[in-house]
Amino acid sequence: METKFIDEEIKYTGLELAPHWIYRKFHLQGDAMIAFCGECEVKLTEMVDIEDVINNEPIYSKNMLSFIIEHFNIGLVEGVTRQRMLICIIKEVIEQLLTPQSSLLTRKGDDLFIDDKKLSVSIATKSLTSVLIHVGININPEGAPINAIGLDFLKIHDIKGFANNIMLKYSQEINDIILASTKVTGR
């Protein structure tokens, strides 16, 4: 699984969560994960989360760290479980950067919160040949339609290092999970 931090700023609109977007745009083939920063504005018309559409909840953040992942040849339930693992990994990476007294980071499903302020957005969906995952972590959530918080507040400023650490840990975790399935006697 290849990973890459994209240095150029990219506005995330939801259209990027498309099959082979990573391959077409950055030429990483197969299972891949990229990260980039930029404004995030997902209108209801581009939203794959029907719950958000029903609740009329578009997404906005002035500056967000986005991860996009494409896993081929797996089902959506497995893809959602991997998405949740990624959220746990992000939580663990942030916790290692926080001082003990600040650690009020909580996870509810695929969302991260700090003191009831939303730190992240995330969705996983299915294409004909792959599962697609987006996780966005607010850097500066200015303009968000809900009570939000960002990495700026947490004094996490080396976004590229932070992102690369997460991508390394996630790709190792997935490899390790697959390997773990090959070392056990069946019952």
Report the distance separating Cα 185 and Cα 169, nearest Å. Answer: 27
**First and final CA of the chain: distance in angstroms?**
30
Which position among 9, 92, 115, 158 is part of the footprint of its own copies (CB under 8 A)?
A: 92
**Closer CB to its own copies, residue 17 or residue 35?**
17
**Location of structure tokens 């920063």:** 37
Q: Which of residues 109-168 bind its own copies (CB under 8 A)?
A: 109-110, 123-130, 132
Report the distance separating Cα 86 and Cα 166, nearest Å. Answer: 8
**Closer CB to its own copies, residue 50 or residue 116?**
50
Site pattern 29..68 for its own copies (x: CB under 8 A) = xxx---------------xxxxx-xx--------------
Let me know how long the chain is. Answer: 187
**Closer CB to its own copies, residue 103 or residue 147?**
103
Report the distance separating Cα 139 and Cα 6, nearest Å. Answer: 16
CA distances from 62 to 117, 152, 176 (A): 16, 12, 35
What tokens were used for 97?
């950067």
Site pattern 4..23 for its own copies (x: CB under 8 A) = -------------xxxx--x
Count of positions on this chain that bind its own copies (CB under 8 A): 59
Q: Specify the DSSP element, H or E, that contains 152.
A: none
Binding segment toward its own copies, per CB under 8 A, in 4-12, 26-34, 58-66, 160-168: 26-34
**Location of structure tokens 């939203």:** 47
Binding site for its own copies (CB under 8 A): 17-20, 23-24, 27, 29-31, 47-51, 53-54, 72-73, 75-82, 84-85, 88, 92, 100-101, 103, 107, 109-110, 123-130, 132, 173, 176-187
